[in-house]
């Protein structure tokens, strides 16, 4: 998620502007005002998560510099095979964030789905960018991506060590609480204890393999089929391919699609735009011209007296619709009549004689 877009602010926005934007969004999507509206509930969670990050100077700095409020370094290696891109850890359980923001005032506590999720940890999601060509979009493509993700340490089975003792900060509860003033009143802000990571205990003896981190880095090659017709900026999700967490839910791998610009074609939805140069003689006389498509070259017959800037539409020569079967967009060709900069004496003479004809008068 782009936290700035969610709140409708920029990186240069002041603390008060961020707070004002948060209040406006929180009131707009609050579940009490939108009972039964799942989309509003989802946006309410996202608004809370965005404010939690952007209102905290350290988290905001980490997010701006690393794309991750926790400030972790890039867990992705280079691309493998055809896959190109780099990734980063991001996000946690949105219900945990929501609880952090509103504590006991969490309106989701009466929701069965939320009761099941509340209190469960979730490994962070991973994100990777993949760059595609228009031909990849036309045909679909199989990609291989090499990633690095956190998995439970095999040596300690994710325990982080042995000989646990009670965490002094949370008194063994695994959570800390504090009161906070929000737009809907005073709430109890409940956080997972950052000293024991919510376990309620601290290992006296740390695991020698993971250094007490409970996880180790594993390199994997992920294979994914990119469907034809996919658009720039879209995201594909792969469950269970993010970071693991002890006693919780493994995060997702989120694949962000970047479609690079093509030197010949401009994309407009599922249509393609192409500029085609033709000579003055061809524009006057008409006849066949060769038009390049993404797949091949086709012949097209233009009329006599074709004007500069005229557009042609080749049906079904654009890009396929995503999940649209055999349906495709069109190729729209703009004809540009090219005037030669230099002529021979004989050509000048011919043009001069033609200029006396009424048909060449403007």
Q: Does the pLDDT value for residue 168 go beyond 80?
A: yes
What distance in Å separates the CA atoms of residue 224 and residue 252, rounded to the nearest whole number?
A: 14
Average pLDDT over residues 191-216: 87
Judged against a pLDDT cut of 50, whether residue 214 lies above it is answered with: yes
Domains of the chain, with CATH numbers?
Answer: 1-71 (1.10.287.110), 72-259 (2.60.260.20), 265-356 (2.60.260.20)
Question: Which residue shows structure tokens 């952090």?
Answer: 100
Q: Is the dihedral of CA 130, 136, 140, 144 positive or negative?
A: negative
Q: Give me the sign of the Cα torsion angle 69, 74, 80, 85.
A: positive
Q: What is the mean pLDDT of the chain?
A: 83
Other Cβ atoms closer than 10 A to 34: 15
| pLDDT > 70? residue 167 | yes
Checking 14-20 for CB contacts under 8 A at 24+ apart, the result is: 15/55, 18/51, 18/54, 18/55, 19/51, 19/55
Tokens standing for residue 238: 């792969």
| Residue 204 three-state SS | strand
pLDDT in tens, 256-273: 999 999 999 999 999 999
| For residue 69, pLDDT beyond 60 | yes
6 Cβ neighbours under 8 A, 6+ residues apart: 25, 46, 47, 49, 50
Q: In the β-sheet with 253-259, what is the strand arrangement from edge to edge?
A: 87-90, 125-132, 253-259, 235-238
Residue 89 is inside which H or E element, if any? strand 87-90
Would you call 149 exposed, middle or buried from its count of C-beta atoms within 10 A (0-12, 13-18, 19+)?
Answer: buried
Q: Single out the residue of 87, 92, 213, 84 nearest to residue 155, CA to CA.
A: 213
Mean pLDDT of the 178-185 span: 72
Backbone region of residue 269 per phi and psi (left: phi > 0; alpha: psi in -120 to 50; beta: other values): left
Give the CA count within 13 Å in the CB-facing half-sphere of 159. Answer: 13
Average pLDDT estimate for 155-179: 89
How far is residue 98 from each of residues 61, 107, 159, 241, 344, measured CA to CA in Å? 21, 10, 27, 24, 77
303-330 burial: b if 16+ Cβ within 10 Å, else e: eeebeeeeebebeebbbbeeeeeeebbb
**Given this model, what pLDDT does residue 56 score?**
86
pLDDT score of 71: 64
Rounded to whole angstroms, the Cα distance separating 251 from 339 reads: 60
**Percentage of residues of the chain with pLDDT beyond 90:** 48
Distance CA 172, CA 276 (A): 73
Task: Tell me which residue has tokens 């926790």.
Answer: 70
pLDDT in tens, 75-131: 333 333 333 333 333 333 333 333 333 333 333 333 433 434 445 678 899 999 999
> H-helix or E-strand containing 352?
helix 345-355
* Residues near 341 by beta carbon (within 8 Å), at least 6 away in sequence: none
Q: Per residue in 46-67, pLDDT tens?
A: 988 999 899 888 888 888 877 7
What are φ and ψ of residue 102, in 5° steps? -120, -5
């Amino acid at each position: 998620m782009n936290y700035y877009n969610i709140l409708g602010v920029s990186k240069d926005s002041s603390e008060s502007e961020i707070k004002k934007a948060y209040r406006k969004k929180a009131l707009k999507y609050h579940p009490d005002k939108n009972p039964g509206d799942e989309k509003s509930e989802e946006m309410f969670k996202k608004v809370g998560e965005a404010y939690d990050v952007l209102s905290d100077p350290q988290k905001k700095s980490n997010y701006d510099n690393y794309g991750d409020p926790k400030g972790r370094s890039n867990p992705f290696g280079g691309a493998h095979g055809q896959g190109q891109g780099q990734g980063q850890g991001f996000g946690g359980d949105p219900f945990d964030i929501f609880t952090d923001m509103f504590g006991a005032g969490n309106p989701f506590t009466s929701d069965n789905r939320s009761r099941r999720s509340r209190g469960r940890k979730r490994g962070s999601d991973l994100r990777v960018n993949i760059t595609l060509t228009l031909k990849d979009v036309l045909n679909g493509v199989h990609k291989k991506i090499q990633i690095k993700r956190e998995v439970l340490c095999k040596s300690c089975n994710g325990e982080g060590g042995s000989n646990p003792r009670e965490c002094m900060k949370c008194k063994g509860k695994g959570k800390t609480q504090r009161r906070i003033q929000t737009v809907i009143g005073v709430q109890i802000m409940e956080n997972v204890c950052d000293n024991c990571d919510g376990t309620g205990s601290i290992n006296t003896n740390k695991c020698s393999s993971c250094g007490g981190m409970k996880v180790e880095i594993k390199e994997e090659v992920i294979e994914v089929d990119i469907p034809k017709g996919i658009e720039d900026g879209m995201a594909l999700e792969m469950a269970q391919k993010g970071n693991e967490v002890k006693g919780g839910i493994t995060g997702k791998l989120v694949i962000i699609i970047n479609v690079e610009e093509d030197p010949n074609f401009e994309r407009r939805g599922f249509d393609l735009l192409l500029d085609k140069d033709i000579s003055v003689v061809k524009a006057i006389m008409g006849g066949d011209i060769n038009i390049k498509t993404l797949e091949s070259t086709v012949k097209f017959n233009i009329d006599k007296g074709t004007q500069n800037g005229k557009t042609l539409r080749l049906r079904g020569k654009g890009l396929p619709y995503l999940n649209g079967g055999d349906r495709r967009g069109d190729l729209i060709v703009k004809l540009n009549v090219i005037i030669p900069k230099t002529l021979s004496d004989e050509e000048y003479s011919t043009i001069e004689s033609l200029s006396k004809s009424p048909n060449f008068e403007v």
